[in-house]
Structure 1
Amino acid sequence: MKKIIHTTVLFGALVMFFCSCKRDDYFIGGSKHNAKVDMTTYDYLKSNSQGLFDTLLLLVDAAGVKEKINKPGISFFAPTDYSINGYLNKRVAEEQNIDPFRKWTIDSMIKYELPKFRDSIDAYIVGESIDYSTMTQNGKLFGTMLPGSQVVVSYEETRDPALGYNPNVSTIPRIVYYTFLFGPIAPPIVAQNIPSTLGKRERVQTSGIQSNSGMIHVLNNQHTLFFRK
């Protein structure tokens, strides 16, 4: 069985998108890539040179949900293996509150939580293609494939130097955020103002990848699977 990776992976993500590249390009690790890939969403994730999605795809295969992330016309906000590792760490802490010798591994997850994964992966899938032309600063409300759940997808300017802002450059970089809502919210929607009690806000570290089957947006490595707090 493949292990969850622990190598630090640096993503340029699109923070310099408007500063120096065409709309068809994006940045990973400082190198420019074409945002259109001639493969399915599953195959694109599998082809990642750092193995950033190996454990995710292990769960996808075990749960039999490959067709969900490859469904034509959807947007998949993919969690990385770091997100799964973070979830496992939280589950270990919960189990050890009961018995300090208990563990919770990927094997435990496959044995006991595949139905949960099979359903919850739908929270990462929006049933339409979301690209930069459909995004706004304040965010738009979308339904996910998980019945009754909604998210706000926003494309926000940032003045954070760690996210690519440079006061010497006239263009302000923009970042995609994916906010999973715990319940309905009243309009008007302003993504940055959604309190943590109403939604879990996650930065997208790589966005706007167009596969043969849909759009791919990769959530940041600090995200915890299932939007666990």
Structure 2
Amino acid sequence: MKNIIKRYFKPTAILLILLAMVISSCKKDDYYNDGGKANPVFNGNIMQYLESNNKFDTIAQIVKLAGMEDVFKNENITFFAPTDEVIRRTIGLVNTPIRELQGGLNQLLFDTGRDTLKTLSDVQPEIWRKFLGRYIFKGSYRLKDYPQVDFNLRELFPGSYYYTYDRDIANIGVVYNSVNGVKYVGYRQLTISYLWDPSNPNNFATAAVASSDIQPSNGVVHVLAVSVGTPIGEAPNDFTANIFGFNADFYNDVMFSR
């Protein structure tokens, strides 16, 4: 009996000592602590949220140039927020070797003999207002409030159509991703598709959402992903998502105004 006790006691004692050491070590290292879920609530209005985040420095300026600062401070809205990178790629540079900035608005202005844009205020306020409105919706809508969309089976899961702030039309839906070949059991991906021509609902440009359900005091912000022309999961993320306003209309309006 003594031999049996000794045989089992020694390894057990060693395990207890090791366990105590691990627990002691965890207490000393803060990075072992569970940070919990990210807090989606922002203590301030949507305008203050944009101004507090360096990803939206340029977008915040555009809101002011468009004369929509009061909307972002006081009205209840949902904003599908393009980042400053979208503006950078839209405007672009002249004769740059950097591929993603070639073919931007400044290159078009240069090629047609027009003055290029030096500052954001070179664009007329009404143009900023027109295209910024395509990203704004009245009311507060989180991911859970939107229906499912399956871009390969839209007759069954079409998402839903919504009027933008200025009465353009967009389709918004949630892609239910697959896991190990099993459909619709994976993570949820919010998307917004701008309809270029409402009479042709199959002609649209889609942007995927990178971060959803940010909740300032007067609405909801969904941050759009920058597109590299490839899907995010099963959600399309068209390259036109990099163009402010989702298509070449912004280019045309600025060119004709100069």
Normalising by structure 2, we get a TM-score of 0.62
Please identify which structure carries the higher helix content: 2
Q: Secondary structure in 2 aligned to 1:217?
A: strand
- Which of these residues, 123, 129, 149, is aligned with residue 118 of structure 1? 129
Please identify which structure carries the higher strand content: 1
C-alpha distance in 1 between matches for 2:225 and 2:192: 10
Bigger mean CA deviation after superposition, 132-141 or 81-90: 132-141
Per the alignment, residue 206 of structure 2 pairs with 201
Paired AA for residue 68 in structure 1: V
Paired AA for residue 152 in structure 1: N
C-alpha distance in 1 between matches for 2:130 and 2:36: 36
C-alpha distance in 1 between matches for 2:199 and 2:215: 30
Paired AA for residue 141 in structure 1: Y
Per the alignment, residue 181 of structure 1 pairs with 195
CA RMSD of aligned residues (A): 2.7
Per the alignment, residue 103 of structure 1 pairs with 116
C-alpha distance in 1 between matches for 2:221 and 2:143: 12
C-alpha distance in 2 between matches for 1:80 and 1:110: 18
Within 5 Å, which residues of 2 pair with 1:122-201?
122-138=133-149, 139-147=159-167, 149-159=168-178, 171-184=185-198, 195=202, 198-201=203-206
Paired AA for residue 163 in structure 2: G
Identity percentage of aligned residues = 23
Superposed CA offset, 1:56-106 (max 9, x none):
11222233211122343210111110010111011112112224x95333x
Gap regions ≥5 residues in structure 1: 1-29, 160-164, 187-193
Q: Secondary structure in 2 aligned to 1:180?
A: strand
The structural deviation recorded for 1:140 is 1.3
Matched, 1:44 2:19: no
- Which of these residues, 246, 254, 258, is aligned with residue 227 of structure 1? 246
C-alpha distance in 1 between matches for 2:90 and 2:52: 24
Q: Secondary structure in 2 aligned to 1:175?
A: strand
Q: Secondary structure in 2 aligned to 1:45?
A: helix
The structural deviation recorded for 1:42 is 1.0
- Higher RCO (CA 8 Å, separation ≥ 6 residues): 1
* Number of aligned residues: 179
C-alpha distance in 2 between matches for 1:112 and 1:72: 25
Per the alignment, residue 154 of structure 2 pairs with none
The structural deviation recorded for 1:221 is 2.2
Per the alignment, residue 3 of structure 2 pairs with none
